Structure 1
Amino acid sequence: MSSTILIQCASDLIQKIASEIKSEYGMCSMAPSIYDTAWLAMVEKNTDQGPQWLFPECFEYLLELQNADGGWDPLEQATRTAKYPANIWLPDCIIHSLAAFLALCRHIRRAMREGGNIPGDSIARMFRAKQFLDVKLHAWKLDGTTHFGYELLVPVLLRLLGDEGVTFDFPEKEALLEKYKKSSDIDLSWLYSGPCKVPLFCLEGFLEKIDFTRLEHLVTTAGIAASPASAAAYLIYSPKWNDKCEAYLRHAISHGQGKRTGAVAGILTALLENGFTADNLGRDQVNSILEIIHSKLEDGVTGATEAFFPDADDTSRAITILNMHDYKISPAAMAEKFEVDQCFETFDTRIPNRVKSVSVNGNVLNSLLHAPDPSAFSPQIEKIARFICGRWRTDGKFEDHWNLSEYYGLMHMAQSLVRVLILWDKGGLPSIPDDFVQSIIPSCLREVTTRILQQQHPDGAWGDIHSMEETAYSIIALANLGSHAALGDDSSPIELAIARGKQFLLGNWQLGVKPDRIWTGKILHGISYIQDAYVLAALKVSCANLAGKRRQNKN
């Protein structure tokens, strides 16, 4: 792919984002979710003709996507040559299938009671869904399940299906219900007095504990907690209709679930750090996005959306991209809110699970290195660098909280630690010990380089599913690792791996293609704009075009 085409693709992507971010609902590029669609399919609205399904098209979508084996599987495991690990795939298809099966049961029950139209094979569909779920639930092991809130969502769906006369028994059921008992035994009175700004909060996971008559104040242009399923649950169980909630769901159906400034800052940073310029992307478009990102900073911090509490990840991304364009934003407020003894935590004390993430700390480290005076934050820079090095393991998979791919964390590790070396080389971090910068960090990064090189597949891809997005992460990581002389003299293995990875991307990617579902949440999801940005960055990047001490060509 020529440089001209790459630049045009990147410019088109930024143009879409610049347009969408100005809308009431923000940027929308998440892949469709069967789980959310199932909840929307169960929303009824009272009309002059009696209760009517609000989103009949959602039920049609569920019917269309039910597999021949009876289940619903957005990961498309059965047709994949390279498959997701069982501990990832099983809970994902179980959560989707339970929700879709519940919607199927409710639609059939109402149609049979009121004489409405139902598919001729409805009963057969129900039997197949039940059989599919019996098999998958029997095979499911709770250990290794990473889906957020599964211990709430699955028991609630099982109970609701029980109300429809459908029951399940499986080996892990007792342990799951015990987890549900512990997880649901929390004080939710705060919901009745203020906004719900908890990321990944699942209103539908607390149906038995919530008084829906007292939740109207929670509804914003982002629904409730920016979750279509939670917004749908509110409309289903609240005695009072909410037009704003309905409008949010209609927008989610037509445009996808919204994401705001956090994702945008990351997209822009990925492109501009890896070879694209503001002129390539459209300077006016870039400036308009930067102004919006800047406007979302409140007291020096920001969150993924206005509906959420601030977090270190989105704050650090915003600070980095703004300071790359001379906004001179101090990271002091971020440090005050999120710094703890050994690192930075993702959330502040208002979130029970504050999360210590390598990728988040990599982004924070990057923002500190882009501060107007990085040396003023030398203690924090050293702290995070030691934390990241300490999390590196040569004998196991490198795990991160927000993304299934170990290469996501390795990319952030490589980018941030190489920048520490670069700034230290320039005398910008004089208080950080020599042995740490000259020995420990390079040793760690050399091991990371070896790991990434060894795990490339013969087709040039990386990851269990030969993912385009994971391959992009790996290429960007290798380009950063290959850009600094402290990591070795022979860059040819890195250059060869990058070339093979780019060839894989060129043979499989096109702008707007269905994204890989590697981002964690209630269910696995993919975000097309993020995948496109990282792939474009990977195709553009090279060891030579990154800042820092470059290898000298011996020729």
Structure 2
Amino acid sequence: MHLWKESQDSIIHRIDTAIAFLNSQLNDWEVMKTERVAFELIIPTLFDLLEKEFGITFKFRDCAALLALNHKKMSMIKDSMIYETQSSCHHTLEAFIGKINFDRLVHLKCQGSFMASPASTAAYLMNASVWDEEAEQYLRRVTSHCEKYGNRGVPTFWPTTIFASSWVICNLLENGFEANKLDKYCLDRIKDMLKRALTIQDGIVGFAEHLLPDADDTAKSLTVLHYLGDSPSVQPLITIFQVDTHFRCYLEERNPSISANCNVLISLLHVSTPEQYTDQIVKVVTFICEKWWTNDGMLTDKWHLSWLYPAMLVSQGLTLLLYRHNDDIPLPSLLDNLIKDKVPIVLFQLIVRILQSQSMETGSWGANGSRQETSYAIIALANLASLPFVESIREQIDVAIARGRAYLQSTSHTNSTEVESKELLWIGNQNAEEIINRLVEFVNLINTHPRIVTASKFDQDQLQLELKSFILAQFKQCEDNMRLEAQTSMISFETPRSSYFRWIHTTAIDHFGTPCVFAFLTCLLSNTHDGRADFFPTSEIKYIVRDCISHISIKSRIYNDYGSLRRDREEKNLNSIFFPEFEGLQNRTDTELKEELMHIDEYESKCLDVSMMELRRIATQKFGTSMGNRLYEVIKLYYNSNTIYQQIYALKDIVTRS
């Protein structure tokens, strides 16, 4: 009883905390500025259930405005939309608890679900008088499908075959990919699925087969088929969804979607004879421009939380419009002030807003450095950069895109590291998170450096590879240290993953960071050398330079291990001398082992001398004495700076002990 009382007190405290939080948030909520699908239906129903079942009530500033929206929406919903045919109401059946007879809905199921919505299907199961095995099996399929994602959540809708396929293919083909270089079998399957769905539903589709059609998915599907060489008719899209000033996404929607209208515009502009649909094109372009002109902040859309999603679609649609118009395609009723004034102004202002909203620190977009929002911004800027009237700020656009791409690349590498870090069970969750955060800061600091983002593409790519190897080598060294620590003796490493030769050429030098530092230096040098050209000009020179850096890196690691042998034994850090290759003769002193390590260093010095001589010979032969000597001197300078540290290590271990 005592345990139960404590648990009950804890629950009451949590409820009180939740109520206080909701009161605080609701008092700041501006209902009339909210753009979220069906919020005016769902939230009032939740309030009603809390009041009826638990006596919890909420009063807040915009409560009357919310109830007015709810009343307006409910007045639009007829019984036939609930009980006779599929409608957008079936997306959110949880909003109708206590208001409808759920037993009358059974014939509107599609493959066990209501509009492929787990929430709606669950609401039906909880409120129907007879348990529905088919609906239960649908929910089991959803949860089983989502188990692999590990967060025990379910999506808003599932499955979304048409939505997922059409959006992905459009994004690929609109941003540099070519259909003939993608998997033909997969493209043919997607093409057949879209054609079949359009045929079955008379030229319009929803986000999955046999579900309620909408303008958004229909427009995207038509665009994909045009990309893949088909010529589907856009007339059903126009007939069903066109209204006086715009296109509706769903027939019963309360307010229009700018993203859906952008997708409609793009679809209309992809037909072979867009002049047939001039009236519709003018209507949609006017709607988009008016939305922009009358918006007092960033664009909002009910289908997406980020303003950058509709911004990306506006940039794609209006840029395509200008190009189709300039291609001498007759669009006679396009008003001059629309095509010559309003559209360019909208696009130019869009560029400015996107540039101004980029993070100065990381190069990302979005409040939390979202990769998705950063991708939207990059795609938008890439479209806008092709326009002739942005020439005066093209350099700023190029730098912004480069910094955004660098951020995406850095977070991609960090994510692969994060996966590995989750497998290192010896790190506590809090420590692991702190390590990952520091890695993100470190990678972003390098990749957004002004001199790095303007280096040649090859030199930037090499830096990315070396940076990834450097980070992963830290984890590999930690794992090796753990295995070493588990041993009863520190004389020899009993479980090496490779030979000493392979280790010293890979993990050892990557962990030490010498190749990564040189890749960073190369990017800095490429800024001072023939614009954005690679600093080392040919594949042969690149190869010899890489060989030189490999020898320099090995020598640096050898001297590090030479100087830190005693510390490494005490702290159980993997050292060259711990490898089985050094066991050979038993019972040798550390002095003898270190002397043997120096013999390997002497060999590396001879190899380095040969490589350096060959670099100088080939570089001067191909590029002349001045250029050849310059390339040679860069490597020589890097070697000399490393030699200073090597000599210091030989005298004294300079690394702080842990």
TM bucket by the smaller chain? 0.5 to 0.7
The residue aligned with 1:80 is: none
The residue aligned with 2:256 is: 356
The alignment status of 1:156 with 2:45, answered yes or no, reads yes
Higher helix share: 2
The residue aligned with 1:437 is: 339
Distance 1:317 1:126, change over 3 A: same
Aligned residues of 1:475 and 1:501 also touching (Cα < 8 A): yes
The alignment status of 1:132 with 2:17, answered yes or no, reads yes
Deviation at 1:245, TM superposition (A): 0.4
Distance in 2 (CA, whole Å) between partners of 1:424 and 1:184 is 43
The residue aligned with 1:338 is: 241
Q: What is the CA deviation profile of residues 64-98 of structure 1, one whole-angstrom value per residue up to 9, with x for unaligned ones?
A: xxxxxxxxxxxxxxxxxxxxxxxxxxxxxxxxxxx
Q: How big is the alpha-carbon RMSD for the aligned residues of Structure 1 and Structure 2?
A: 3.1
Aligned residues of 2:258 and 2:301 also touching (Cα < 8 A): yes
Aligned residues of 2:111 and 2:138 also touching (Cα < 8 A): yes
Query: Which amino acid letter does the alignment assign opposite residue 13 of structure 2?
Result: R
Aligned residues of 1:265 and 1:317 also touching (Cα < 8 A): yes
Distance 1:150 1:122, change over 3 A: farther
Deviation at 1:197, TM superposition (A): 2.9
Distance in 1 (CA, whole Å) between partners of 2:376 and 2:211 is 27
Distance in 2 (CA, whole Å) between partners of 1:121 and 1:320 is 60
SS of equivalent residue, structure 2 residue 88: coil
The residue aligned with 2:469 is: none
Deviation at 1:305, TM superposition (A): 2.7
Distance in 1 (CA, whole Å) between partners of 2:385 and 2:82 is 53
Which stretch shows the higher mean deviation, 172-181 or 415-424?
A: 172-181
Distance in 1 (CA, whole Å) between partners of 2:349 and 2:41 is 39
Aligned residues of 1:415 and 1:480 also touching (Cα < 8 A): yes
SS of equivalent residue, structure 2 residue 91: coil
Aligned residues of 1:184 and 1:206 also touching (Cα < 8 A): no
Query: Which amino acid letter does the alignment assign opposite residue 437 of structure 1?
Result: I
Aligned match of 1:404 in 305, 308, 311? 305
The residue aligned with 2:270 is: 370
Higher relative contact order (CA 8 A, sep 6+): 1
Superposition TM-score, scaled by structure 2 size: 0.55
Which stretch shows the higher mean deviation, 448-457 or 338-347?
A: 338-347
The alignment status of 1:416 with 2:317, answered yes or no, reads yes
Aligned residues of 1:222 and 1:307 also touching (Cα < 8 A): no
Distance in 2 (CA, whole Å) between partners of 1:436 and 1:151 is 35
The residue aligned with 1:457 is: 359
Deviation at 1:435, TM superposition (A): 4.9
Aligned match of 2:161 in 249, 254, 260? 260
SS of equivalent residue, structure 1 residue 215: helix
The alignment status of 1:271 with 2:172, answered yes or no, reads yes
Deviation at 1:335, TM superposition (A): 1.3
Aligned match of 2:60 in 160, 165, 171? 171
Distance in 2 (CA, whole Å) between partners of 1:316 and 1:146 is 22
May I ask how many residue pairs the two structures share in their alignment? 397
The residue aligned with 2:91 is: 201
Distance in 2 (CA, whole Å) between partners of 1:253 and 1:119 is 31
The residue aligned with 1:538 is: none
SS of equivalent residue, structure 1 residue 491: helix
Distance 1:182 1:442, change over 3 A: closer
The alignment status of 1:245 with 2:173, answered yes or no, reads no
Larger Rg: 2
Aligned residues of 1:415 and 1:477 also touching (Cα < 8 A): yes
Percentage of matched positions with identical amino acids = 32
Deviation at 1:299, TM superposition (A): 1.9
SS of equivalent residue, structure 2 residue 189: helix
The residue aligned with 2:403 is: 500
Deviation at 1:174, TM superposition (A): 5.8
Q: What is the CA deviation profile of residues 363-404 of structure 1, one whole-angstrom value per residue up to 9, with x for unaligned ones?
A: 111111111211211222222222212221475222222112
Distance in 2 (CA, whole Å) between partners of 1:436 and 1:191 is 39
Superposed, which structure 2 residues align to 1:10-25 within 5 Å? none
Q: What is the CA deviation profile of residues 298-336 of structure 1, one whole-angstrom value per residue up to 9, with x for unaligned ones?
A: 222112234543211111101111011111112122112
Q: What is the CA deviation profile of residues 336-360 of structure 1, one whole-angstrom value per residue up to 9, with x for unaligned ones?
A: 2222222222223xx152x422211
SS of equivalent residue, structure 2 residue 409: helix
Distance 1:222 1:402, change over 3 A: farther
Deviation at 1:511, TM superposition (A): 12
Aligned residues of 1:134 and 1:168 also touching (Cα < 8 A): no
The residue aligned with 1:212 is: 102
Superposed, which structure 2 residues align to 1:73-88 within 5 Å? none
Distance in 2 (CA, whole Å) between partners of 1:177 and 1:200 is 21
Aligned residues of 2:90 and 2:114 also touching (Cα < 8 A): no
Aligned residues of 2:319 and 2:383 also touching (Cα < 8 A): yes
Aligned residues of 1:222 and 1:258 also touching (Cα < 8 A): no
Query: Which amino acid letter does the alignment assign opposite residue 137 of structure 2?
Result: A
Distance 1:352 1:366, change over 3 A: closer
Q: What is the CA deviation profile of residues 3-24 of structure 1, one whole-angstrom value per residue up to 9, with x for unaligned ones?
A: xxxxxxxxxxxxxxxxxxxxxx
Distance in 1 (CA, whole Å) between partners of 2:129 and 2:183 is 49
Distance 1:376 1:510, change over 3 A: farther
The alignment status of 1:303 with 2:303, answered yes or no, reads no
SS of equivalent residue, structure 2 residue 85: coil
Deviation at 1:231, TM superposition (A): 1.0
Superposition TM-score, scaled by structure 1 size: 0.65
SS of equivalent residue, structure 2 residue 259: helix
Query: Which amino acid letter does the alignment assign opposite residue 404 of structure 2?
Result: G
Aligned residues of 1:418 and 1:480 also touching (Cα < 8 A): yes
SS of equivalent residue, structure 2 residue 300: coil
Aligned residues of 1:316 and 1:367 also touching (Cα < 8 A): yes
Distance in 1 (CA, whole Å) between partners of 2:258 and 2:117 is 26
The residue aligned with 1:527 is: none
SS of equivalent residue, structure 1 residue 488: helix
Distance in 2 (CA, whole Å) between partners of 1:470 and 1:245 is 36
Aligned residues of 2:160 and 2:208 also touching (Cα < 8 A): yes
Distance in 1 (CA, whole Å) between partners of 2:404 and 2:230 is 35
Distance in 1 (CA, whole Å) between partners of 2:110 and 2:310 is 33
The alignment status of 1:190 with 2:71, answered yes or no, reads no
The residue aligned with 2:613 is: none
Which stretch shows the higher mean deviation, 146-155 or 329-338?
A: 146-155
Query: Which amino acid letter does the alignment assign opposite residue 400 of structure 2?
Result: A
Distance in 2 (CA, whole Å) between partners of 1:134 and 1:410 is 36
Aligned residues of 1:197 and 1:308 also touching (Cα < 8 A): no
Distance in 2 (CA, whole Å) between partners of 1:121 and 1:259 is 45
Aligned residues of 2:247 and 2:256 also touching (Cα < 8 A): yes
Query: Which amino acid letter does the alignment assign opposite residue 323 of structure 1?
Result: H
Deviation at 1:512, TM superposition (A): 10
Gaps of 5+ in 1: 1-111, 113-117, 515-552
Aligned match of 2:183 in 268, 278, 282? 282
